[in-house]
């Protein structure tokens, strides 16, 4: 089993943003009638979400979260020694959006920047990657950024997921303190199931396939430019492989559910979260929910749930058990102590990077 260990690195701040575009599931009655949206909410728990404005990208949301974090912390951006941007919604095929965000935030040249192409497991993978980099460097601060605009990749008539995905951005400040509890992470992936969640068109395997729609195995019409999710396969994965990883983690760390204050699961849908909670015999108070108001925001859903739950209050230090799982397929488990006094409330943003929209005149 692939376990990773970090010592003396703490989460020093968390900020999250959502687009200033509030959308309710009920509003989809104009498209699907009353029965389908009502049934969707009853099954998934999603009542509303925030969707990116036409010009907004994932990097806009990530940058806005970072700016909010810098505005509310004593750490100067010149002290950031490394930055990771986790997204599957990049601005361009090249360069990495991490480079664009570095420029926008004014991070120093000595700040190592890179992008991770991960979805719902991205927070756990990104957190461990950042901790590993900090451990192996002489730097004190690292910035983990996340941004996603999956709503732009869904067919507007896809009743299975168009009402599911919400967009958001997150910024997490990590500090090498040399103190605090050691952090253990379990990471897993299964590429044999890469087609379970996939958007086939636009990559270098098939850059310009036909745009005609066809009927998928679930009876819904899509094109190769739309996200496809095998709901049955993903659901089975979520309630079998993920609980097994959690069991392995608890066994390896010699801990039990009672040792943790909070369980922060990727906000996939309410039924999956309930199944995970039931298997672990968790009380509802230990499992905060945000998907009812924000939808499925991918890997951002874990920090977003924290900001939604604790952004307006200081409840002290919480021992948080976190599990992310999804596209890849990939999944991970991590536990860390988080000071809720360093968690900021969720804010809205309509900002977008106008200089980032490249026109021919800019390249002449």
CATH number of the domain enclosing 147: 3.40.47.10
Domain tally for the chain? Answer: 1
At residue 283 the predicted structure's pLDDT band, cuts being 50, 70 and 90, is very high
Q: Is 361 within a domain?
A: no
Residue 364 lies in a domain: no
Residue 357 domain-assigned (yes or no): no
- The residues that bridge with 188 in the sheet, in sequence order, are 331
pLDDT band at 186 (very low <50, low <70, confident <90, very high): very high
- The residue-averaged pLDDT of 4-33 equals 95
pLDDT band of residue 314 (cuts 50, 70, 90) is confident
Note whether residue 300 is domain-resident: yes
pLDDT-derived band at 178 (thresholds 50, 70, 90) equals confident
pTM exceeds 0.85, yes or no: yes
Give tens-digit pLDDT for 73-117. Answer: 999 999 999 999 999 999 999 999 999 999 999 999 999 999 999
Whether 356 is covered by a domain: the verdict is no
pLDDT at 172: 98
User: Is residue 359 domain-resident?
Assistant: no
| Across 111-134, average pLDDT | 96
Average of pLDDT values for 246-259? 96
> What is the extent of the structural domain holding 246?
1-350
How far apart are alpha carbons 217 and 226 in whole angstroms? 14
Alpha-carbon distance 168 to 258, whole Å? Answer: 31
User: Inter-axis angle of helices 97-105 and 58-71, to 10 degrees?
Assistant: 30
Q: Look at residue 137 and tell me whether its pLDDT is greater than 90.
A: yes
Query: Is 139 within the bounds of a domain?
Result: yes
């Amino acid at each position: 089993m692939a376990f990773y260990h970090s010592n003396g690195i703490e989460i020093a701040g968390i900020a999250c943003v959502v687009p200033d575009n509030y959308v309710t599931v009920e509003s989809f009655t104009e498209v699907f009638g009353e029965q389908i949206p009502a049934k969707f909410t009853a099954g998934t728990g999603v009542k509303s979400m925030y969707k990116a404005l036409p010009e907004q990208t994932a990097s806009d949301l990530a940058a806005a979260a970072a700016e909010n974090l810098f505005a509310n912390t004593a750490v100067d951006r010149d002290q950031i020694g490394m930055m990771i941007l986790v997204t599957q919604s990049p601005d361009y095929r090249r360069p990495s959006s991490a480079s664009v965000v570095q420029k926008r935030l004014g991070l120093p040249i000595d700040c190592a920047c890179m992008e991770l192409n991960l979805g719902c497991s991205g927070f756990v993978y990104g957190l461990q990657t950042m901790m590993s980099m900090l451990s192996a460097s002489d730097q004190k601060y690292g910035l983990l950024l996340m941004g996603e605009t999956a709503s732009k990749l869904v067919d507007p008539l896809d009743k299975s997921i168009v009402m599911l995905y919400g967009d958001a951005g997150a910024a997490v400040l990590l500090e090498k303190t040399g103190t605090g509890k050691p952090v253990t992470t379990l990471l897993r992936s299964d590429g044999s199931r890469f087609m379970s969640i996939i958007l086939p068109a636009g990559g270098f395997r098939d850059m310009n396939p036909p745009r005609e729609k066809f009927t998928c195995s679930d009876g819904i019409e899509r094109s190769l430019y739309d996200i496809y999710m095998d709901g049955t396969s993903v659901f089975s994965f979520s309630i079998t492989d993920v609980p097994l990883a959690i069991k392995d983690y608890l066994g390896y760390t010699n801990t039990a559910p009672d040792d943790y204050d909070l369980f922060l699961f990727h906000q996939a849908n309410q039924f999956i979260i309930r199944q995970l909670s039931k298997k672990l015999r968790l009380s509802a108070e230990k499992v905060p929910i945000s998907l009812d108001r924000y939808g499925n925001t991918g890997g951002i859903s874990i920090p977003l749930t924290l900001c939604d739950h604790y952004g307006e209050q200081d409840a002290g230090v919480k021992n948080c058990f976190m599990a992310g799982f999804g596209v890849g397929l990939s999944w991970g488990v991590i536990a860390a102590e988080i000071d809720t006094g360093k968690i900021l409330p969720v804010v809205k943003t309509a900002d977008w990077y106008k200089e980032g929209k490249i026109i021919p005149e800019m390249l002449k």
